[in-house]
């Protein structure tokens, strides 16, 4: 009996020891909770730090031109009996965040110390509470689009700035925006000026819509496509989905909206698509659907082809079932020309005017790049075949999905397709071929004998959709 009791006591002692050891390893022990590992005060080069004990951070502001590469700890106060990984007199490079660890016995806390230069920036700019400005921080300019009916001689800006900065003209003060207006932002040693331009916008004929606030903020693939539209299609504009959602531009006369979506590494499910796009793009579905149902046409390319299901233009609500893509900076270098096939019977479709050539097999192919081109092969296509399950043959895909194949890969996958218009709606054309590529990292595409076909295809698509538009 005594042996059993002794065994039980040993087990009980082991359990207590384990609990004690786990508690000691956790830096949320009683020492921390009683405040014995706090960093209470910190000065660096005599600049006072703002300590946030909840998030274990310290922020110190210095003048705009101050050198932060060799700063001295000039004062520090920590909990009694504790030790810190830095001490008064230490010279540290604070051009990037540093960590100070405060230890007391087995407990410790780590504080992230950030030294930042004073700044004076505009972070948000709205006119009359409705028209949001597009801030170009690099050029210190702000563009605000308003409908042509708005009187711009007396608009009231609502301005948000970085902490404690002041701005002139002041937020809430009526301003005449007949000509560009300069707003000056100041905070201690920091000062900056933003030129605000208000643009009255008549309805464009064609629009490139994207996730970024401006063309310059798009990724290289999308930026190349968007800039081509602005340079080559008369009366075209770039709009963000924020612009669409806020009705910043009158689209009553717009005939075509184009979205070319590139995601490094590709996406292959609707959930990943939803995660990759902005909240504005999700909320804009109803406005884009209204545009389509009221006679406007859409060009959806690469992973933007997923959006057709969101708009309700498909019969079965499905997205392309065979998708992938590479990364722009480590893209594949082609060893020969790349092309896709024109679907039999679609050789005379307006999309292919001036771009098709007969291959040795007698099939029509569209060449989009030559050997030496760097391509992500970003693909959003429809696999056709009994081995896949969705669509055993092309006729089933056409009937069930509700689209017409215009182009296919060598294995029969549908890579270019369109959804028909109705008596009131426009038409939707989709290009999901990995051959359809605008940007080659580090490659001079002007020397590629086939790459011009990408622009020609797009121009044909936009002109065709304009003809099909009922706006």
pLDDT tens profile 67-88: 999 999 999 999 999 999 999 9
Average pLDDT for residues 415-422, to the nearest whole number? Answer: 95
Q: Using pLDDT thresholds of 50, 70 and 90, give the confidence band for residue 8.
A: very low
3-state secondary structure (DSSP) of residue 42: strand
Query: 259, 209 in Cβ contact below 8 A?
Result: yes
Specify the pLDDT at position 14.
Answer: 44
Q: Is 278 exposed, middle or buried (0-12, 13-18, 19+ CB in 10 A)?
A: middle
Backbone angles phi, psi at 147, to 5 degrees: -60, 155
**Tokens in use for 435?**
């051959």
Query: E strand or H helix at 289, and its extent?
Result: helix 285-293
Residue 466 has pLDDT above 50, yes or no: yes
Q: Using pLDDT thresholds of 50, 70 and 90, give the confidence band for residue 235.
A: confident
**DSSP letter, residue 204:** P
Model confidence, pTM: 0.65
Specify the pLDDT at position 389.
Answer: 82
In our burial notation (b when 16+ CB lie closer than 10 A, e otherwise), range 311-332 reads bebbeeebbbbbbebbebeebe
Q: Which residue has the tokens 């005449």?
A: 176
Residue 16 has pLDDT above 90, yes or no: no
Average pLDDT for residues 186-197, to the nearest whole number? Answer: 97
Query: 213, 240 in Cβ contact below 8 A?
Result: yes
Q: Using pLDDT thresholds of 50, 70 and 90, give the confidence band for residue 32.
A: very low
Specify the pLDDT at position 357.
Answer: 73
Specify the pLDDT at position 52.
Answer: 96
- Please give the Cα distance from 469 to 337 (Å, whole number): 34
- Please give the Cα distance from 122 to 320 (Å, whole number): 42
**Tokens in use for 145?**
């689009």
Q: Using pLDDT thresholds of 50, 70 and 90, give the confidence band for residue 1.
A: very low
Question: Domains in the chain, start-ordered, CATH in brackets?
Answer: 30-117 (2.60.40.2340), 122-201 (2.60.40.2340), 208-468 (3.40.50.880)
Q: Using pLDDT thresholds of 50, 70 and 90, give the confidence band for residue 360.
A: low
* Stretch among 78-82, 118-122, 145-149 having the lowest mean pLDDT: 145-149
Residue 399 has pLDDT above 80, yes or no: yes
Average pLDDT for residues 141-152, to the nearest whole number? Answer: 88
Specify the pLDDT at position 152.
Answer: 96
Instruction: Round the average pLDDT of the chain to a whole number and report it.
Output: 90
- pLDDT digit string, tens, across residues 445-465: 999 999 999 999 999 999 999
Average pLDDT for residues 383-404, to the nearest whole number? Answer: 95
* Among the listed residues 346, 352, 414, the one whose alpha carbon sits nearest the alpha carbon of residue 380: 414
- H helices within 246-348, ranges in order? 270-276, 279-283, 285-293, 307-311
Q: What is the length of the chain?
A: 471
Residue 35 has pLDDT above 80, yes or no: no
**Tokens in use for 73?**
């700890």
Average pLDDT for residues 429-436, to the nearest whole number? Answer: 98
Higher pLDDT pick, 252 / 95:
95
């Amino acid at each position: 009996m005594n042996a059993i009791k002794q065994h039980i006591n040993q087990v009980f002692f082991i359990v207590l020891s384990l609990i004690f050891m786990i508690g000691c390893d956790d830096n949320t022990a009683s020492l921390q909770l009683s405040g014995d590992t706090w960093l209470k005060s910190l000065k660096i080069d005599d600049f006072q730090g703002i300590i946030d004990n909840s998030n274990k951070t310290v922020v110190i502001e210095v003048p705009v031109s101050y050198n932060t590469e060799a700063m001295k700890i000039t004062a520090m106060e920590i909990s009694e009996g504790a030790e810190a990984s830095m001490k008064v007199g230490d010279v540290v490079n604070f051009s990037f965040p540093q960590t100070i660890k405060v230890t007391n016995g087995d407990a410790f806390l780590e504080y992230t110390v950030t030294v930042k230069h004073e700044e004076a920036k505009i972070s948000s700019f709205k006119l009359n509470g409705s028209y949001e400005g597009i801030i170009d921080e690099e050029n210190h300019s702000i563009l605000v689009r308003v409908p042509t009916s708005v009187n711009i001689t007396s608009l009231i800006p609502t301005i948000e700035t970085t902490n404690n900065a002041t701005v002139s003209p002041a937020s809430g003060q009526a301003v005449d925006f007949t000509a560009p207006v300069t707003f000056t932002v100041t905070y201690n040693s920091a000062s900056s000026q933003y030129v605000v331009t208000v643009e009255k916008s008549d309805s464009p004929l064609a629009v490139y819509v994207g996730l970024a606030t401006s063309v310059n903020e798009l990724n290289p693939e999308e930026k190349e496509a968007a800039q081509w539209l602005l340079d080559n299609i008369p009366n075209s504009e770039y709009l963000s989905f924020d612009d669409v959602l806020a009705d910043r531009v009158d689209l009553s006369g717009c005939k075509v909206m184009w979205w070319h979506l590139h995601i490094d590494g590709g996406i292959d499910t609707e959930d990943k698509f939803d995660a990759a796009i902005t909240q504005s793009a999700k909320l804009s579905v109803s406005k884009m659907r209204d545009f389509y149902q009221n006679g406007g046409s859409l060009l959806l390319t690469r992973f933007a082809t997923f959006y057709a299901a969101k708009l309700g233009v498909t019969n079965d609500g499905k997205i392309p079932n065979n998708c992938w893509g590479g990364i722009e900076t480590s893209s594949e270098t082609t060893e020969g020309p790349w092309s896709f096939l024109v679907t039999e019977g679609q050789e005379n479709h307006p999309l292919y005017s001036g771009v098709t050539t007969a291959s040795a097999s007698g099939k029509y192919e569209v060449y989009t790049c030559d050997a030496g081109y760097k391509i992500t092969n970003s693909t959003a296509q429809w696999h056709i075949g009994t081995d896949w399950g969705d669509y055993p043959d092309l006729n089933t895909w056409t009937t069930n999905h509700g689209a017409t194949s215009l182009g296919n890969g060598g294995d029969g996958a549908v890579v270019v397709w369109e959804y028909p218009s109705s008596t009131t709606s426009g038409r939707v054309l989709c290009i999901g071929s990995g051959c359809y590529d605008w940007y080659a990292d580090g490659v001079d595409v002007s020397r590629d004998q086939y790459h011009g076909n990408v622009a020609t295809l797009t121009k044909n698509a936009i002109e065709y959709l304009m003809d099909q538009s009922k706006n």
